[in-house]
Amino acid sequence: MSQAGNNSKQLLLLGLNHRTAPVEVRERLALSDFDGNAIELFYNQESCNEAVFLSTCNRVEVIACCRDLASCRNEILECWCRAAGLNKEGLQDHLYLYENKDAVKHLFRVASSLDSMVLGEPQILGQLKDAYRKAVEVGASGQILNKLFHKAFFVAKRIRTETRIASSAVSISYAAVELARKIFGDLQGKSALLVGAGEMAELAAQHLKTSGITDLMVANRTLERAVRLSQELGATPLSLEELDSALVKADIVISSTGAPDPVISADLVRSVMRPRRHRLLFFIDIAVPRDIDPEVNRIENVYLYDIDELKGVIEENMQERQKEAMRAERMVEEEVIKFLSWLSSLEVVPVIRKLQEKAESVRQQELQRSMKYLSSLNDQERAAIERLTRSIAEKLIHDPIIYLKKGVHERDRQKALASISRIFRLEDE
């Protein structure tokens, strides 16, 4: 979009993220303790026509539609700092500001997770949808931001569908489950055992369940913690003393305790292979220090991966995501051009509407003037004349309308609008 004329809708994006500001600053500007709806704080500013407020653990942003960028920027920044109890001058170094085309591009990149801490992560799209929904609920999002955000959602979906930016594991817990899928193929009907009940185990459990695992066991040194996590996951809680019986049943074992020494020895695994009838057993050790004796990997039909091997997989996958991100960036550029074309076309709508109203007004006047000489016509004949005059009027203004919509370059649009207005004397209407 060009730096638009005075009547144009302008777009402004003001924010900070994990790269530009420490967490203590982001926390304050997230306005989680603000007494009221944060979006209304920005929407109620005089220069702000529409607004959406995005607040996540990694970024806080205000997206606004306004007529005067400088006024809107100052008003938003002042009210934001006032509500957060921060000094505006001390905040400048942490903020980024995007206007018009750059604002659209940034939003599309955020929605597509191209600007995320973890490239390709899916959570940001849901967070963006929540922010937009809150704005809609209070009437803060109108014609421009409605179109902008729906376009952002479309761009994110297109990139996720047409690229492999999110198809490779880039977290330890996700990579562990992806390795299990490579070993077993389909995980439906398989049994999994988590040894340890910390955050890594919980994340791995969530990925396992998403992959089709329904039979899940959680073994932990503290049974209370195993019970608590099992209730959340629909799993079976066990103590570490029950490891031998659990290993007989499990197909996949993911271990992530904080124990100083191995909790699963090679002797223990050998002892369970006969009752298992030497069925394939897959271990993933994501603990530091390691939970599983490396000698386990020498046992027939047993596979063991440790955290260093997983990191190697993750590095390869990140390189793959970076390649896919280049394709995604091209898609973003393409969709930015399409949105800005739509936005700039809004300038012609009032002129087109006036042109249509002028044509219809002239048609009605001339039709009424002529009808007193055509009083003998029946209803069918009158309807035919109505259709004829309407068709003539529409055809006369068809070419100017198509020219305004598609035939004039964006940089010449203001001149074309002024010319059409003068030719048809639309200013007098």
Catalytic residue among 57, 72, 79, 81: 57
73 contacts 47 by C-beta, under 8 angstroms = no
Q: Residue 105 — left, alpha, or beta (φ > 0 → left; ψ -120 to 50 → alpha)?
A: alpha
How many C-beta atoms lie closer than 10 Å to residue 101's C-beta?
17
At residue 169, what is the residue type?
A
Three-class SS state of 10: strand
CB atoms under 10 Å from CB of 395, counted, come to: 10
Question: Which run of H or E residues covers position 379?
Answer: helix 379-402
Calpha distance 21→68 (Å, rounded): 27
Question: 57 catalytic, yes or no?
Answer: yes
Give the residue among 255, 221, 254 at the shortest CA–CA distance from 237.
Answer: 221
Q: How many Cβ atoms sit within 10 Å of the Cβ of residue 174?
A: 21
Q: What are phi and psi of 281, to 5 degrees?
A: -130, 125
CA distance 190 to 252: 8
Beta strands 59-66 and 10-17, pairing class:
antiparallel
- Residue 221: how many other CB atoms lie within 10 Å: 16
Q: What is the C-alpha separation between 35 and 291, in angstroms, rounded?
A: 48
Pairing of strands 48-55, 252-255: unpaired
Backbone angles phi, psi at 191, to 5 degrees: -110, 135
SS3 352: helix
Here the tokens at position 332 are 């973003």
List, in order, residues 6 or more apart from 136 with CB less than 8 Å away: 146
User: What is d(CA 2, CA 66) in angstroms, rounded to the nearest whole number?
Assistant: 15
- Burial class for 87, CB neighbours closer than 10 Å (0-12, 13-18, 19+): exposed
Q: What is the gyration radius of the CA atoms in the chain, in angstroms?
A: 32
Q: How many other CB atoms are found less than 10 A from the CB of residue 305?
A: 22
Q: Which active-site residues does the annotation give? A: 57
